Amino acid sequence: MAGHSKWANIKHKKAREDSKRGKIFTRIIKEMTISARDGGGDTGTNSKLRLLVEKARAANMPQDNIIRAIKRGTGELEGVNYEEISYEGYAPGGVAVFVETLTDNNKRTVADVRHVFTKLGGNLADSGSVSWMFERKGVVTIASDNCTEDDVLEKLIEYDIEDVVLHEDLITVYCGMQDLEKVKNGAEKVGLKVEDAEIEMVPKDPMTIENKEKEEKIYKFLAALEEIDDVQNVYANIA
pLDDT in tens, 58-83: 888 999 999 999 999 999 999 889 99
Task: Tell me how far apart the 2 most distant CA atoms of the chain are, in Å.
Answer: 53
Grade residue 22 by pLDDT with cuts at 50, 70 and 90: low
Domain boundaries of the chain, sorted by first residue: 2-74
d(CA 205, CA 117): 23
d(CA 202, CA 230): 21
Of the candidates 97, 189, 98, 95, which has an alpha carbon nearest to the alpha carbon of residue 140? 189
More confident residue, 145 or 83: 83
The pTM of the full predicted model, rounded to 2 decimals, is 0.87
Q: Give Cα separations from 171 to 2, 57, 64, 166, 197 (angstroms).
A: 11, 22, 33, 4, 12
* Domain 2-74 fold: Arc Repressor Mutant, subunit A (1.10.10)
pLDDT score of 13: 65
Average pLDDT over residues 99-114: 97
Burial environment of residue 68 by CB neighbours within 10 A (0 to 12, 13 to 18, 19 or more): middle
Strand partners, 165: 172
